[in-house]
């Protein structure tokens, strides 16, 4: 078959037989069909030639779901807003890492992924129920933009058990705004609070037993995924990423991803992506394909560094408290959730300084190795002040209630030597 299948070499048996890091350099691609190039070429073409008019008709009918496709049948390459070889290979390889998912869709940014998902699944009169805090851009979309479209949005505290969320589902249904989507960010940005994905799914299923339709469960897995947490294995329908972060890992690409069941991703989310134009570009897709090859090594090394840094901060006299999964103690409900759904602690640390904004700014301005910058997950270590930066758009009262105070510092630990990172933190804290 022409087009899509020409460059793809997917094999479900291989996925079951070998580990993701062993397949990520080859899965979904046949070098012999691209002049033997060991990596996929960058297909910068905006449009693609059909071999016949009949093939063009067939491909458009499939792309716009104008007829039922045969099993294993795909449209030819049409136009890079609809399909592109680099992006399709990338989407196949992402499913290697995100266990429990069948298909992926990549986007021009993490917010492009979340916005497209929301518009694909929600309609006027529906309700969205979401954990808080979430990333500041996500909060703005949920708090300000979706309500303008007639969508009711209802937050609940990150870490809340499913039994506390189930009444929100019932209340929304009774109010005439049936819940269509539950969105969970875990660990939460920036508090690192864990929410139990399995409990959320069970709460949704109990509600659905009394309802005509079951709300979808989407989980933003940016902080720990895809190495240390697999939400689809715990009941999530969709797994969302800012691929800019750990998936990219080098601060040189902005991208997003959604992974989940084939029918939902291919028929719902990709259809909206095509019409909204939120697709990723081929060069950015190439950068992500490059980064996936080192994903496990990067995330593992960064996690080792983060454990050292977190333990050091936890013992420092000018630090009030440290939020890092690797410090959770037995008996803590957060530790119970972590043990159930995570296999590693990741490399995101939030801590609270003694003092307030003045002390926090003194600390940040004194850093020498850490970069004072937002974003996360890259090989360089980053530090930021959530209350005045990434989460400054939140309602002030809500921000304080959620623990996003002037004392809070968020660190993304990179690949530098951990002793040097600690030395940098030490000299900066000495100036506070």
Residues classed as catalytic? 81, 135, 220, 245
Spatial separation of the C-alpha atoms in residues 78 and 80, rounded to whole Å: 7
Instruction: For residue 76, list its beta bridge partners.
Output: none
Taking the chain, what is the end-to-end CA distance rounded to the nearest angstrom?
A: 65
The tokens 């019409």 sit on which residue? 275
> Is the torsion defined by CA of 178, 122, 263, 227 positive or negative?
negative
Q: Is the peptide bond before 36 cis (omega within 30 degrees of 0)?
A: no
Strands of the sheet containing 408-412, edge to edge, are 319-323, 348-353, 408-412, 382-384, 371-372
Alpha-carbon gap, residue 257 to 221, rounded angstroms: 10
CA angle 218-103-62, nearest 5°? 115
Strands (E), 51-199: 103-107, 127-132, 152-157, 179-185
SS3 readout for 337-390: HHHHHECCCCCEEEEEECCCHHHHHHHHHHCCCCEECCCCCCCCCEEECCCCCC
The answer to whether 258 and 240 are in contact (CB under 8 A) is: yes
> Could you tell me if residue 226 is left (phi over 0), alpha (psi between -120 and 50 degrees) or otherwise beta?
alpha
Q: How far is CA 288 from CA 29, 336, 389, 396, in A?
A: 15, 33, 26, 36
Assigned token pair, 220: 């933003």
| Paired tokens of 306 | 């983060």
Q: Give all strands (DSSP E) within 54-133, no chain letters.
A: 103-107, 127-132
In which residue are the tokens 């700014």 written? 361
Give Cβ neighbours of residue 74 (< 8 Å, ≥ 6 apart): 1, 3, 4, 5, 62
d(CA 352, CA 123): 40
């Amino acid at each position: 078959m022409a087009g899509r299948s020409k460059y793809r070499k997917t094999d479900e048996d291989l996925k079951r037989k070998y580990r993701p890091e062993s397949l990520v350099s080859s899965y979904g691609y046949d070098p012999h069909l691209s002049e033997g190039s060991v990596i996929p070429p960058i297909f910068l073409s905006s449009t693609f030639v059909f071999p016949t008019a009949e093939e063009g008709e067939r491909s458009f009918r499939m792309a716009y779901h104008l007829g039922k496709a045969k099993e294993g049948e795909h449209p030819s390459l049409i136009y890079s807003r609809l399909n592109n070889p680099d992006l399709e290979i990338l989407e196949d390889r992402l499913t290697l890492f995100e266990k429990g998912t069948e298909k992926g869709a990549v986007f021009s940014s993490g917010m492009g992924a979340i916005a497209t998902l929301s518009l694909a699944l929600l309609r006027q009169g529906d309700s969205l129920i979401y954990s808080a805090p979430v990333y500041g851009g996500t909060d703005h979309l949920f708090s300000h933009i979706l309500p303008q479209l007639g969508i009711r949005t209802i937050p609940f505290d990150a870490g809340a058990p499913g039994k506390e969320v189930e009444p929100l589902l019932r209340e929304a249904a009774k109010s005439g705004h049936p819940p269509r989507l539950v969105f969970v960010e875990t660990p939460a940005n920036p508090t690192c609070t864990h929410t139990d994905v399995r409990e959320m799914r069970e709460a949704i299923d109990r509600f659905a037993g009394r309802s005509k339709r079951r709300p979808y469960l989407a989980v933003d897995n940016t902080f720990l995924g895809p190495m240390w947490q697999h939400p689809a294995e715990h009941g999530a329908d969709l797994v969302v990423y800012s691929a800019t972060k750990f998936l990219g890992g080098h601060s040189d690409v902005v991208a997003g991803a959604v992974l989940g069941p084939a029918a939902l991703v291919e028929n719902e989310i990709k259809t909206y992506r095509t019409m909204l134009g939120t697709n990723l570009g081929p060069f950015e897709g190439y950068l992500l394909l490059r980064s996936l090859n080192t994903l496990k090594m990067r995330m593992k090394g960064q996690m080792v560094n983060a454990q050292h840094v977190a333990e050091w901060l936890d013992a420092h006299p000018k630090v009030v408290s440290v939020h890092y999964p690797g410090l959770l103690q037995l008996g803590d409900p957060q530790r119970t959730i972590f043990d159930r759904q995570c296999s590693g602690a990741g490399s995101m640390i939030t801590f609270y300084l003694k003092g307030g904004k003045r002390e926090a700014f003194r600390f940040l301005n004194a850093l020498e190795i850490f970069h004072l910058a937002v974003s996360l997950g890259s090989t360089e270590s980053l530090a930021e002040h959530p209350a005045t930066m990434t989460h400054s758009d939140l309602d002030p009262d809500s921000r304080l209630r959620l623990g996003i105070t002037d004392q809070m510092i968020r660190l993304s630990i990179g690949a530098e030597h951990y002793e040097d990172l600690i030395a940098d933190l030490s000299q900066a804290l000495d100036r506070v």
